[in-house]
Structure 1
Amino acid sequence: MAKQIVLLTGISGFIGLHIAKQLLDQGFHVRGSIRNMKKAQSITNTLEKASVNISELSFIELDLTSDKGWDNAAKGCDYVMHVASPYAAAEPKHEDDMIKPAVDGSLRALRAAKKAGVKRVVLTSSTMTMMATMKSGTFGPNDWADIHSKDIGTYAKSKTLAEQAAWEFMEKQHSAMELVTIHPGAVFGPVLGDNITGQSMTMIDQMLRGKIPMLADVTMPMVDVRDVANIHVQAMTATKAAGQRIIASHAEATRLVDIPKILKEHGYKGPSTRIAPNLLIRFMSLFDNEAKGMVGLLGMNVRADNNKAQELFDWSPRPFSETVLDAAKSIIKTQEKS
């Protein structure tokens, strides 16, 4: 029987590499999209070091901002896993720098998938598309962030608009193709390979070095990258997942300061557990784009309704302390190599 082929966009990212590992381990052929073919060798090396058989791995060059190559990339594929999307905690100078590639990239993936006769598209969204403009209460699959709110950050807005565009596309098209959206909370956990430049890894790295004297008072649902990858792979083939928005996170929110607390409890000396006054974050946001990105999250304490993930799949999130400690171990391992 021929191998089923999955086009995986954003394969080189934190989540993308973990998804690639799980897909390859389960016998799928993975066609990974990268912006530059020079990245292919490092991805191959990373997966091989993680004991993955890469004989069913191939690469294709794609850009979220260009039509070039998308039809060819989806041709012959059974599934499309669209993970690639611009991300930064800091606010960009122009919101379209983040919004346009997010929206256009999602539509390019869907158009190419439809043309190729793909069975299902799994789109990586975010809990932000549901909770970004809430301050308290429980959010679930029927909720949407208010894109017109003054409190919404550009990343949350970009993910919300990209997902809304995807569902609108599905409403207008007449084919058997299905869509599932996956909504991770803040994603932490160990890296595959040596790249610790992602947002969550950089933050823990800085904590371990004692370079974050204070943290913003932010509380939100969080999740392990391995659990996020697992839910993507299950959502690709589970019959009842079609047409669903699925939350991938712990139900209870985690306070940002809980991360250094976990590290300190396990003998790490660098992390600080001091909390920055909200007024300080608001003042810093006037001239610091990273602080500006935090303002809308101040005072937020929301709970996630993750029942659908637990009903549809063999899935439950691992303890968050395990996530944090495994992330720290992988950072230290990377530092020792360099």
Structure 2
Amino acid sequence: METISTPGAEGPPDDSLKPVGCTHYKRKSKFVTPCCDKIYTCRFCHDECEDHVLNRKEVKELMCALCDTRQKVQSTCQKCGIIFGKYACLECNLFDDEDKNQFHCSGCGICRIGGAHKFFHCTKCNMCLPIQLESGHKCVENVSRTNCPICLEDIHTSRIPCHIPPCGHLLHRPCYEGLLTNGLFACPVCQTSLMNMERLWKYWDMEIENTPMPSEYSNYFVEILCKDCHKESTVKFHVVGFKCQQCGSYNTCRNKGPVTVRGSIRTLIRYIARFCNFLIYMTRQIYSYIPFLSLVVGPGDDTDTTEHVRDEDRLENTLTDEEELQNND
């Protein structure tokens, strides 16, 4: 891998150069695309016009933007000697005339901007992160190899800066700012809070305090799950929200089970009395059907028993007669 950074490279005076580059990069070279054999200034220009994606690492041929000479990939033109870009990475085939503190990361496999001293490569996340996160951050394996959950565009090779929330899932910064603008403060992937929400939780504490529930709901409780600390709690039912008893977050949801009623001993006795009254009522209903059942099935059972006894008597008399006949013989 050859990486060339020439911030002080000299060339022809700027006023003698015709406009070069595109809206994405300022450079003095163009790609000869191996996939469709066309000439584009950069891969983004190609992808905007074609129905397929260009892999810039597969490019083997360039064309000088000044003298239109086609040549193999290199940092300077073989005919006019112009430098294609103040920064040139021959592994990524990246040429840029603007100083953005570019550097190549072998772990990411691409070039980054911002200065190598400001970033470190996390092997588990498989991406470069700000150096201030090196002492501790939440690792999500290959997190940058996924698409942005809002715009569904690629994150790893995107030129759009990304935001790293506490949960570790990446979002494009404009998408993140759009969520906050629309009042959405939870990660679209895991629903964890995207930022410190303590001020909002304190506001909701005041709202609940100033919004008492009707007396018939004073003893109603629900099971909740916190999306921030992932712990369960049992809290009083309230229309404003449910506060996690572990971390104080209102980023919660109803969990399994119905609404339960809890109260004083007097309330418990009242519910027991209602249950006893229900049992007494059901017992009376059952006993009210007993006389009717005895009228329907009672006599039939007695008749069957009498007939059975008579059959046994006949059998005994028959056996006795046979024994007498044998004795007489």
TM-score by length of 2: 0.23
TM-score by length of 1: 0.23
More helix by share: 1
Which one scores higher on RCO, CA 8 angstroms, separation ≥ 6? 1
For the pair shown, the structure with the greater C-alpha radius of gyration is 2
